[in-house]
Amino acid sequence: MEYSTYGRHIVVDFWGVDFGLLNNIDFLQEIMKDAGEKCLATVLSVAYEKFDPNGGTVIIILSESHLSIHTYPEKGFAAIDCYTCGKKTEPNKAINYLIEMLKPKATYTKTLIRGLNKIEVMD
């Protein structure tokens, strides 16, 4: 099997997200796994950490790369990263699903095109 170096890397800040959603590690694992599947990627494993007193990190290892979320419930903030290699995946579908599930009041997004001997930023 030949692998492409072409990839899309979407980095998103979510603001104004409900504390309870961002502090629920079981919910976050579920929606992150679902997001990986919705973007047509192959989910290989899930790693997570719940922090004390609040917040958490969930990392989804994909055959095509990764999807991650780091939450700061006390600030209503989540940092999300979706990097997928190849052209069969649709990382925007993962991000749109997470917007639907977390309902942020504001989002700030950068999309990078990687693996072309340079990094292209697409806004």
**Residues classed as catalytic:** 65, 70, 85
- Residue 114 CA to residue 5 CA, distance in Å, equals 7
Residue 109 CA to residue 115 CA, distance in Å, equals: 20
Identify the helix (H) or strand (E) that includes residue 66: strand 65-72
Helix (H), strand (E), coil (C) string for 85-120: ECCCCCHHHHHHHHHHHHCCCEEEEEEEEECCCCCE
Rounded CA-CA distance 18/56 in Å is: 14
